[in-house]
Amino acid sequence: MRHGETELNASGTWQGQLDVPLSKTGEMQAARLAARLAALGETFAGIYSSDLARAMATAMPLARALGLPVRPDPRLREICLGELAGKPRGHLAEAYAEVLEATREDPWGARFPGGESLGDVRERLEAFLAALPPGRHLVVTHAGPIRVAVWLALGLFSAEPWRLRIKNTSITRLVFPQGFPGPGEVHVVGDAAHLEPWAGMP
């Protein structure tokens, strides 16, 4: 699951690993996500979260609803954007046009100045998944790691990861039948039905 909305999300500002809180809208989204998962009546082996504030604040309502502790893990952090963090999208398109073009042409290898590439995110996400015990787990993270996890499941690293749309508090469901590492299955990507007006969530 991706974390709830922040003020920087709403204003079109790139966050990366800036540690910012949820907005009021983000808090509402997190509550709706928790209500949806609690209503399913499913059991989970654990809840893991990026240790950044916006992810932890999204995970805590899940923990209360499901009666499970949250295990923070820095390997689940968003991609580090280096000097691009905190910059509005419009400014980036002008001042960092060459950097953005490089990340489009080589998303897995091109690093943001002073930051990471998606390949770096892949390495820490692989380490997290390899250490995860068997079972069904909830993982609260960010759009970047979710995109990487989808391609990890599919084994497609020549694809265009930035084209995946991952909304705030959306659910992406991945299954690794033989555990990780191993071939995975992508069951759902970016499901945010609990945010729709017809969803009936509080």
pLDDT tens per residue across span 12-34: 999 999 999 999 999 999 999 99
pLDDT at 201 (0 to 100): 62
For 7-199, CATH number?
A: 3.40.50.1240
- Would you list the domain boundaries of the chain? 7-199
Q: Residues 88-110: pLDDT tens digits?
A: 988 888 899 999 999 888 989 99
**Three-state helix/strand/coil letters over the chain:** CECCCCHHHHHCECCCCCCCCCCHHHHHHHHHHHHHHHHHCCCCCEEEECCCHHHHHHHHHHHHHHCCCEEECHHHCCCCCHHHCCCEHHHHHHHCHHHHHHHHHCCCCCCCCCCCCHHHHHHHHHHHHHHCCCCCEEEEECHHHHHHHHHHHHCCCCCCHHHCCCCCCCEEEEECCCCCCCCCEEEEEEECHHHCHHHCCC
**Which residues are tagged catalytic?**
3, 78
Split the chain (202 residues) into runs of 10 and give each run's mean pLDDT.
97 96 98 94 94 98 96 98 93 89 91 95 97 96 96 85 91 95 94 86 62
Q: What is the pTM of this model?
A: 0.94
